[in-house]
Amino acid sequence: MAERMIDVDGVELCTKAFGDPGDPPILLVHGLGASMLWWDEAVCTRLADHGRFVVRYDHRDTGRSTAWPPGQPGYDGFALDADALGVLDALGLADAHLVGISAGGGVAQALALTHADRVRSLVLMSTSPGTTADRDLPGPTAAIGAFLETAQVDWDDPDSVVEHLVGWSRALAGDRREFDEQAWRELVRRDVARTRSVASLQNHDLLSHDGGPDAPLSSITAPTLVVHGDADPLFPLAHGAALAAEIPGATLLALDGAGHGLDVRDHDAVVDAIADHTRRADRAAGR
């Protein structure tokens, strides 16, 4: 299907759907600063081949969606939660399986706590507990800190932005696997060329999430699968393990050698796991 622009409370969001609208829906929610392109089209089509109606979309301030002036986001972090619901509403979907990666996993957790009736199941990837409970979880690795401390980028120069984002992708990939620079550079170039205002990607780093859901993760009722790389340098595996321990009935799929995000080398395992998890959730709900 072609890309489709939708209106969510005056904000234009770009969406793209795959598969039969009559099939069980999956909404893919990516992390901060990431457009829909970071959900590989091959993943979307393969999930559709499993009999799922798959939707990916550009967050505000990414891709073809509405952009705010750099450094001046006219919204807070909870707007991203509302946007996900707005996508479902615009497409006429009463509910969906939510697959969230990184900060998108935080969006998925929030919706499972505040709008449980809209969430068929959760798949939480490369993410961390999104509630304020006290936890002793490890922080990012020294390599992540070193990148953030030394990174330089000219947001008015597309080539500089490409180099910055490729470097960030390299840091997130961890140190257990060879980094496929050519593939990541191709993705980043396409993303930068397609984005309305590439400098506005920074706005996500300024968002406040104060005043989030007070309910504990133990109150989540959606069937939950946690997928986490055991070499994730941003959220080490203990973050995924904490999610799986705190959400009732959750299961953890640890990916050997995987860093932060979805590596093409894990597509087979992850697509099969999502298809199986969503099938089981729908069957348990009598769908």
59 tagged catalytic: no
Q: Give the single-character DSSP code of 257.
A: T
Angle at 188 between CA 126 and CA 54, to 5 degrees: 55
267 tagged catalytic: no
- Which residue of the set 35, 50, 95, 102 is catalytic? 102
160 tagged catalytic: no
State CA 282 to chain mean position distance. 22
- Which residue of the set 58, 95, 191, 232 is catalytic? 232
- Distance separating alpha carbons of residues 255 and 269, to the nearest angstrom: 9
SS (H, E, C) 127-187: CCCCCCCCCCCCCCCHHHHHHHHHCCCCCCCHHHHHHHHHHHHHHHCCCCCCCCHHHHHHH
- Which residue of the set 260, 263, 266, 277 is catalytic? 260
- Distance separating alpha carbons of residues 196 and 179, to the nearest angstrom: 28
Reference 233, options 171, 183, 157; nearest CA is 171
- Distance separating alpha carbons of residues 42 and 47, to the nearest angstrom: 9
Q: Catalytic residue numbers?
A: 102, 232, 260
